[in-house]
A = this chain, B = another copy of it.
Amino acid sequence: LRMSKGTVILAYSGGLDTSCILVWLKEQGYDVIAFLVRFRVWETDLPLNPVFIEDLRSEFVEDFIWPSVQANAVYEDRYLLGTAIARPCIARSQVEIARREGAQFVSHGATGKGNDQIRFELTCYALYPEVEIIAPWRIPDFYNRFRGRTDLMEYAQKHGIPVPVTPKAPWSMDANLMHISYESGILENPKSHAPADLYLMTKNPEDSPNTPDVLEIEFGNGVPLKVTNVKEGKSKNSPLDIFSYLNEIGGKHGVGRIDIVENRFIGMKSRGIYETPGGTILLQAHLDIETFTMDKEVRRIKQGLGIKFSELVYNGFWYSPECDFVRHCINKSQENVQGKVQLSVFKGQVYILGRESPKSLYNEELVSMDVQGNYDPCDASGFIRINAVRLREHHRLQGVSSIKK
């Protein structure tokens, strides 16, 4: 009779890797509690029965997607962070279970070269500093034993783990409510084009409807309160319903596909393909209502904070004092970000059509070409001349040579 080494909470995905890890951890002498998160866009058949199945979809939208919308969170100008914000959501829940169950260990199936291991583990360490983490793909005993998919399949068969019957796609995939990411395998060659049948969440724009859908999204405090399909009159009100509906419409029209090379935290470049239908619509709509209602200079400072936020989240620091600070500041900036944006979704694109807000700083009379408003054009002369003082001095003292190319 062997003593247990302790209890491990395993983030179980239902895939071959974590199924094998589950059995392997038991083999190593741990008590294992498998924990499965439901916030994907579809259900998976599970080879093994997890002990806990948590539906985190609502808290994922409210606690993780909404703050990212407020931040206009985009990593390296293109990636909307769909995987990066899911990791702290899962890990937070896993740590709660670990504390509740008195487990000292947590484990996951993330690889040793990726970002997810970091996002996952930094969350665990931040929320449960005494935790010990078992990352099999970084343990030589494990990764030397399972050198490829065949080894895992054999191990699964030997231990009665049902083996997937469908052949594995020649790439790997991570799916949640916000997006699907595709990488590795045949996608590792950055030059080769992604196959047309890769995408699962969005329709190919070549096959998408020939008429747009027109949506009106209402915002309050920088997050969506309601979405209405203007033609159909249909509307959604709860965070989860709103986001799911935006996914549906975005997916139908092929919105949010990108193919990028990005910089991982650990200093490698990797190629990833992402589809983020609802998130892409929201990014465009939020950018619009935000600029409409937020002071120009606040916007400028907040833009910098949003970029910082995106880097922190990408690198796994959702739960950190600095990310907490930045989130607080961004949230403060959203106080007046309310109003409605109308937009059209069509063939992979989102077109902003118009916007209105009770908190708008847009003053139609002031800006009008036709009426003067409370504005004296002569003031502009002084404004320009004062701005030119420095430029003229520079020219006078150091010569035009330094400013002409």
**A residues lining the B interface (CB < 8 Å):** 63, 72, 76-78, 111-113, 117-118, 121-122, 125-127, 129, 135, 137-138, 140, 143, 148, 172, 184-185, 188-194, 205-206, 210-212, 257-264, 266-271, 287-288, 291-292, 295-305, 307-308, 311, 316-317, 319-322, 324-329, 332-333, 335-336, 342, 346-349, 351-356, 359-364, 366-370, 374-398, 400, 402-405
Contacts and interface: CB of A to CB of B under 8 A. Distances in A.
Contacts of A320: 295, 297, 390-391, 394, 403
Given A299-B76, A382-B378, A385-B379, A351 B263 contact: no
Most buried by B among A271, A304, A351, A382: A382
Contact of A269 (B112, B263, B346, B361): B361
26 contacts: A63-B405, A113-B377, A125-B388, A126-B395, A129-B388, A143-B377, A184-B370, A185-B369, A190-B360, A206-B211, A259-B351, A261-B355, A266-B380, A267-B390, A269-B360, A269-B363, A300-B322, A301-B305, A319-B403, A321-B391, A348-B351, A349-B349, A361-B393, A361-B397, A376-B385, A379-B385
Given A267-B387, A366-B393, 4 more contacts: A125-B391, A192-B354, A264-B367, A295-B322
A191 B354 contact: yes
Contacts of A369: 111, 113, 172, 184-185, 188
Given A191-B354, A367-B113, A394 B321 contact: yes
Contact of A393 (B72, B267, B327, B395): B267
Contact of A386 (B184, B351, B356, B380): B380
Nearest to A210: B206
Query: Which 7 A/B pairs are nearest by Cβ-Cβ distance?
Result: A382-B382, A112-B377, A267-B390, A263-B296, A297-B322, A347-B347, A125-B388
A380 B112 contact: yes
A336 B398 contact: yes
Contacts of A355: 190-191, 261
A138 B390 contact: no
Nearest to A189: B364
Contacts of A333: 325
A388 B347 contact: no
A349 B379 CA distance: 42
A363 B393 contact: yes
A349 B352 contact: no
A376 to B, nearest CB: 7
Given A138-B381, A348-B346, A377-B143, A388 B328 contact: no
A116 to B, nearest CB: 11
Contacts of A384: 117-118, 121-122, 125
B301 A325 contact: yes
Contacts of A260: 288, 291, 352
Contact of A205 (B76, B346, B395): B346
A21 to B, nearest CB: 15
A287 B78 CA distance: 9
A169 to B, nearest CB: 13
Contacts of A212: 206
